[in-house]
Chains A and B, each alone.
Chain A
Amino acid sequence: EVQLVESGGGLVQPGGSLRLSCAAAGFTFNTYAMSWVRQAPGKGLEWVSAISGSATSTYYADSVKGRFTISRDNSKTTLFLQMNSLRAEDTAVYYCAAREERGYSPFDYWGQGTLVTVSS
């Protein structure tokens, strides 16, 4: 059974940092590109960042570039998102999502999400 389980969310002050994790199981992790997608309260879905299966390529939305860093540990089948200089507008549920690396491919799997609240 495929599982993506996010953790690390919580309440943080503006300007603070947080590190999210996404533990994966049930599929060949290093053959899947991974993404973070977020959803602010009552709003739509926003893609945040992606990383290739081998971790050689990373991609970021302009809204987080220079503040967030995506990484992965294939030996532990875990995805990370280091979030620095957090702002109120980063408040959202953060989902990890997986897509098989075979050219253009859709998200196959989603986690259940972890809530990040940026507030003083």
Chain B
Amino acid sequence: ETGVTQTPRHLVMGMTNKKSLKCEQHLGHNAMYWYKQSAKKPLELMFVYNFKEQTENNSVPSRFSPECPNSSHLFLHLHTLQPEDSALYLCASSQASGSQGYSNQPQHFGDGTRLSIL
């Protein structure tokens, strides 16, 4: 059983739809992440939120819009997606260091949302 919960597990949407992916972590962590895993490709980091502030945007198209209202919740708002956006979207959390050093703490992943764009 994971301490990071993602909903929905599966999502099929048309290119003109608007939908949102939700992630909730119950581990008391202060950093949250969105990753994308496409077929035959490694996991790609999309966004990093550290203490609710976005610290990394890995050149993600604006049709993906993240939101982090608090350190336990993370959303990914989807709008006007393309067929190539079909992938597994994974959320993760970790206890990141608040200072200039880095905490050697692993990221913990949810089970992902399998997204299919028609």
Pair from one complex: no
Interface residues, chain B, with chain A CB atoms under 8 Å away: none
